[in-house]
Amino acid sequence: MVKTRLYSFPKELLSQSNETKTNYFKSITIPHRHLKEALDILLINILEPADTLVFLVFGVTGVGKTTLRLRLEKKLFDEFLPSLRKNPGQIAVAGTEAIPTSGGKFSYKDYYTRALEALNEVLIEYKVAYCFSRDEENDSGLVSRAYRQDAPALRRAMEKVFRYRQLKAFTVDEAQHLFMMAGGHQMLHQMNWIKSIANLTGTVHILFGTYELLNCPTLNGQIGRRSEDIHLLPYQADNPEDLAEFIRVIKTFQRYIPLPEEPKLEQHYEYLFSGSVGCVGLLKNWLTRSLRIAYSEKARTLKIKHLKVGAFSVSRINKIKEEAEQGFRRFQEAEGLVDRKYSTEYGTKIRAKKTVLKKGRVGQRKPKRDVVGVNPDEI
């Protein structure tokens, strides 16, 4: 008796072009434990915001940051759909991608323009800051075009759109590009700039990027208090729960592969885990590459030979693994420093020494240094 496969994808896909089938598989996102944990934290803080308005989401490449961003945007849209129907002018969530600096100089004008474009703002090129002198007018008494589209005018326009459109969250992908500047002073300036926009508009800002974002919370105490870190970890091979979750993800992926026969990828879970460094995003990219090879051979299922051809090179995987290990160590060091400090201050009871007050003669000053350089009455 021949077993009939129950397809998790539309059966008519099998008769479509290879490009259509590949695009379908690329559109599939698999919820997994690390993704859901990070998503829950972000949703709680966006729907019930407290003092923290800036979130830094970081991890190694391929760990699922972009997938998290897309799922967050979808969840927020679904959450605010009733409100959006009542108020069509409202925007629940929007986002942009940070562009690398040109010559080490960040373009605020470009950032504001891209943010306004993401919000579907019109007449961006005509935004004007109305704080100018007579010298800034041309012979006709009109504002010179040179003073249009300047950074202050675009920022004010962006802030107004954030407030009037009741924007709940603004996401920035590849956020490490915001801080590609020399010196800690410039990084501090950038972080204060992001914090200022979030505070003035009341919009939660979520920065997605690499482990370079780890430098931001340690710039000063205020930024550390006003921001929060979310670390997207790869799954660990020596953790039984992580391994079980990764195998579950593999089984789910294989059900959505548009081929006549469902592949048995879980049989190769060790190979897949090693070649993806435990990152679900890398695993999906690998399966997509291998799927194209299977289609070119008109194969009925995805086999180990296709996986080997579609695998990333050893040098690339080793580099990603190295970055993941270094980033994890940096994160542990930062967290460990806080833990050690708090365990000393709050977890250890220190017996106070008994102090003995020495009595002096009436009218005789106690030996101590006088304050110099300032008026004691003004202290």
pLDDT tens by residue, 71-83? 999 999 999 999 9
> Which residue has better confidence, 242 or 185?
242
All CATH 3.40.50.300 domain ranges in the chain, comma separated? 33-231
Of the ranges 96-100, 209-213, 352-356, which one carries the lowest mean pLDDT score? 352-356
Report the distance separating Cα 51 and Cα 45, nearest Å. 9
State the pTM of this model: 0.77
Q: Would you say residue 344 has pLDDT above 70? A: no
Mean pLDDT of 338-342: 39
Report the distance separating Cα 273 and Cα 244, nearest Å. 11
Helix (H, G, I), strand (E, B) or coil at 234: coil
CATH class of the domain defined by 33-231? alpha beta
- Locate 349 and state its tokens: 């009871």
Q: Environment class of residue 301 by beta-carbon count within 10 Å: exposed (0-12), middle (13-18) or buried (19+)?
A: middle
- For residue 279, name the pLDDT band (cuts at 50, 70, 90): very high
By residue count, the chain amounts to: 379
> Which residue has better confidence, 274 or 340?
274
Query: Highest mean pLDDT: which of 30-34, 124-128, 285-289?
Result: 285-289
Counting residues of the chain whose pLDDT is more than 70, the rounded percentage is 76
